[in-house]
Amino acid sequence: MTAPNKTPEIKDAPRSGGMFVTVPRQDQDPLTKNRGKNPPLIDRLKKSGLDPQKLLDIARPGSATKSTTSLRHRLILIGFLLFVALPSAAFSAYMIFWASDQYHSTTAFAVRSANQAAATDILGMMLDSGSESPTSNSYIVNDYLQSQAIIEDLSHTIDLEAIFNRDQADWLFRLGTDLPIEDKIDYWNRMVDINFDATSGVIYVEVRTFHPDDSVTLATAILQRSEVLVNKLSEVNRRQSVRFAEETVARAEARLKVIRRQMLAYRDGTQEVSPEDNAKIAMEMISALDQQVVAKQAEMKTLATYLNSDSPRIRLLYEEINALESQITTERQRLGGGTSGDNGTSANDNRLAVRISDYSDLKLEEEFANQFYTTALAGLEKARQDADQKHMYLATFIKPTLSQQAQYPQRFLYSFAFFLMLAGFWTVVVLMYYNIRDRT
């Protein structure tokens, strides 16, 4: 008998002039092979609702995993084609065949001051704190060119919707109609590039439209509006500088008028122009009276050597000396040399010394007010001179250029960027799927 594990052989019939060829028989399927040996097992599996072939596939190592992996790879490939390759190809075709040409115009300018102080002059910059700063105004112009104000100002002289909605403009890059101002600002900032170099203070403007002449027209209008803005800023700063000086002069003048009215009221009340001059006159009078007293006393002593004390001549001299001394005492009291005594407050206030003190205070305030007023006038004149000399202007380095060949849109760059965006999104989705699958 043939061994059970030995493969049976089939012998072909002999041919004339030939030889016998033995062909090995292929192994039968295990289920079919064992059906004859153990038919009750297959029948029991079928009666239980189980597929014997599927059970055999599960039992074979790696067969189910290979089929599942192959299906997953096919789905990933299909997803890449549907969501990355086809949209990228469609967008690239649109950019190459349908996207309209865009022509650019470039201009460059800077805000300059006619009397700009050197950067090393630290003291000058600290003292001239109210002067105009070209750098700060350059930032103002830079922000203005990217704001809603420039669109509203240009709309008075240029039809922006007509420029950005030409017939040759394609659907993707045209402006559109009846858009809100926020969308117009976003579109403006996409089509108009503003770059500010803080080191040199130069502002570079690049305008893109669908016709070369439109780009030049729009760039020229931007240059004009920037110049108008700089002139307004300079004029406002100049007016403020002069206004501050004028207010200072007005305050000094009002103060001087008040002091002069007080001086006039004082002179009207005392009925004297200057108490100091009256004091000089009083001192000269007292000095003259003292000289007369000394002379009379010397004469009386001389007469007393040969006349009696009761003689009329000596009594007359004695009376004259008393009168002169009384006059001297009165004049000294007017000057304030004596004590207040029983004169009272009103008598003390009428003394020449008190009047001189009040007059000196008023005179000092009047001199200070005069000096302040003179200084304020000089400051006003200097502010006016500075306003005439220190003004800002717009220095244009590059006039608006005319493009002869379209440089935009950058078709291959846009296509490649669109492909990278979709590929990145697709990669993230696939990685998230694998991550969720591994966790579950």
- Pick from 273-287, 332-346, 411-425: least confident: 332-346
Query: What is the C-alpha separation between 149 and 130, in angstroms, rounded?
Result: 27
Instruction: Give the start-end residues of each E strand in 176-238.
Output: 192-197, 202-209
State the pairing for strand pair 192-197/202-209. antiparallel
Per mean pLDDT, which range of 46-55, 103-112, 394-403 is the poorest? 46-55
| Length reported for the chain | 440
> Do the Cβ atoms of 202 and 106 come closer than 8 Å?
no
237, amino acid identity: N
The set of residues, in sequence order, having a beta carbon less than 8 Å from that of 51 and lying 6+ positions away, is 45
Q: What average pLDDT does the segment 219-239 reach? A: 90
* pLDDT tier, 391 (very low <50, low <70, confident <90, very high otherwise): confident
Name the one residue in this structure whose structure tokens are 């002379």. 295
On the question of pLDDT at 40 being above 90, the answer is no
Cis upstream peptide for 52 (omega within 30°)? no
**pLDDT at 109 exceeding the cut of 90:** yes
Which is nearest to 373 in space by CA: 255, 259, 269, 272?
Answer: 255
User: What are the pLDDT digits (tens) for 275-309?
Assistant: 666 667 767 777 888 888 888 888 778 877 777 77
Highest mean pLDDT among 248-252, 272-276, 391-395 belongs to: 248-252
Dihedral class, residue 307 (left if φ above 0, else alpha if ψ from -120 to 50, else beta): beta
| pLDDT for the residue 11 | 45
The whole-chain average pLDDT of the chain stands at: 77
Long-range Cβ pairs for the range 381-389 (8 Å, 24+): 382/245, 383/241, 383/242, 383/244, 383/245, 384/242, 384/245, 386/115, 386/131, 386/241, 387/238, 387/239, 387/241, 387/242, 389/114, 389/115
Per-residue pLDDT tens digits for 84-99? 889 999 988 888 888 8
For residue 307 the two structure tokens come to 């006349």
What average pLDDT does this structure show over 137-151? 92
> Containing H/E element for 392?
strand 392-398
Q: What is the β-pairing status of strands 392-398 and 192-197?
A: unpaired
- E-assigned strand segments in 221-283: none
CA distance 327 to 321: 10
> What mean pLDDT comes out for the span 113-140?
58
CB–CB of 93/99 below 8 Å? no
Rounded to whole angstroms, how far apart are CA atoms 324 and 326? Answer: 5
pLDDT of residue 343: 46
Q: Is 48 helix (H, G, I), strand (E, B) or coil?
A: coil
> What is the C-alpha separation between 19 and 17, in angstroms, rounded?
7
308-322: pLDDT as tens digits: 777 788 788 888 888
Q: Structure pTM?
A: 0.57
How far, rounded to the nearest angstrom, does the alpha carbon of residue 358 sit from its chain's CA centroid?
A: 56
Q: How far apart (Å, rounded) are the C-alpha atoms in residues 346 and 352?
A: 12
Considering only residues 340 and 303, tell me which one the structure prediction assigns the higher pLDDT. 303
Residue 399 and residue 107 in contact, taking contact as beta carbons nearer than 8 Å: yes
